[in-house]
Amino acid sequence: MSKDTFTALLVDDEELARGLVREHLQSHPEIQIIGECANGFEAVKATTELSPDLMFLDIQMPKLNGFEVLELMNPQPATIFITAYDQHALKAFEAHAVDYLLKPFSEARFEEALAKAKAKCIAGHVTVAHPAELSAAARDKWPLERIVVRDGSKVTFISLDKLDYVQAQDDYVELKTEGRGYLKQQTLASLENQLDPKRFLRIHRSFILPLDRLARLEQGLTDSWTAILRDGTKLPVSKSGYAKLKELIQ
């Protein structure tokens, strides 16, 4: 596929940082900047409305960080991360991104990243690795404290402290919190990899349980077990899940 022009979205809460990207793009008439955003909410809205080919995305931003922005985008533009992380932290996910720019970056480094992103667009492979993989890879430096869920134009933040349990629903997970359920397009396995194993345990192929929600375990007529939560909810426990629970609660 040939492509002569590309649309770009600039996302950074610092005006000076966006200005620097604009300056570097001045020598690229094939790149049309169609929008600029100062936070993650604006980025999600702009991407939905404008469908840019390229996105220059800061990671550390108010409201939504860069990982959370990508989680809420489907499809995703060819994304170049802009970050102040050090090299050690970047190694965790650099192989999965189109490319990254480490602040402050040189013109040569910018040109290299831009060339990669344009090549991705021309080839038609614009999707980076699943954002959940990026978040999991960087977990040591960026612990998951909340889960973001998008329903149309609405974005909901679910604090892990208020999460009652998670249930697999085909290619989605249902997040149960405060008497409500929220669907998120993510596999149970990928979410499990993001969570702190000291706080959350996969007790069954279809369920993840926050350990502080467990009230007691009940044995069935056979060797089956059921987890009883503080609010009375009953969840099935597999043999392997029971073994893990027994080890933790002894």
Q: What is the pLDDT of residues 5-21, one digit of tens each?
A: 999 999 999 999 999 99
pLDDT of residue 59: 85
* pTM > 0.85: no
Regarding the domain with residue range 146-249, which homologous superfamily does it belong to in the CATH classification?
LytTr DNA-binding domain (2.40.50.1020)
Mean pLDDT of 137-155: 70
Count of alpha carbons within 13 angstroms of residue 162, beta-carbon side: 12
User: SS3 letters for 151-168?
Assistant: ECCEEEEEEHHHEEEEEE
| Residue with tokens 């809460």, as numbered in its chain | 13
Average pLDDT of the chain? Answer: 85
pLDDT average, residue stretch 77-92: 71
Instruction: Check whether 92 has a pLDDT greater than 60.
Output: no
Q: What is the pLDDT of residues 28-82, one digit of tens each?
A: 999 999 999 999 999 988 988 999 999 999 988 888 888 888 888 877 888 898 8
Candidates 134, 123, 105; CA nearest to 194 is 134
CA distance linking residue 99 with residue 24, whole number of Å: 16
The CATH 2.40.50.1020 portion of the chain extends over 146-249
- Of 59 and 176, more confident: 176
pLDDT at residue number 143: 56
pLDDT at 250: 65
The Cα–Cα gap between 166 and 163 comes to 8
The pLDDT score that the predictor gives to residue 86 is 65
CATH number of the structural domain 6-137: 3.40.50.2300
pLDDT > 80? residue 130: no
Residue limits of CATH 3.40.50.2300 in the chain: 6-137
pLDDT digits (tens, 9 = 90+) for 180-238: 999 998 899 988 988 888 899 999 999 999 999 999 999 887 888 999 999 999 999 99
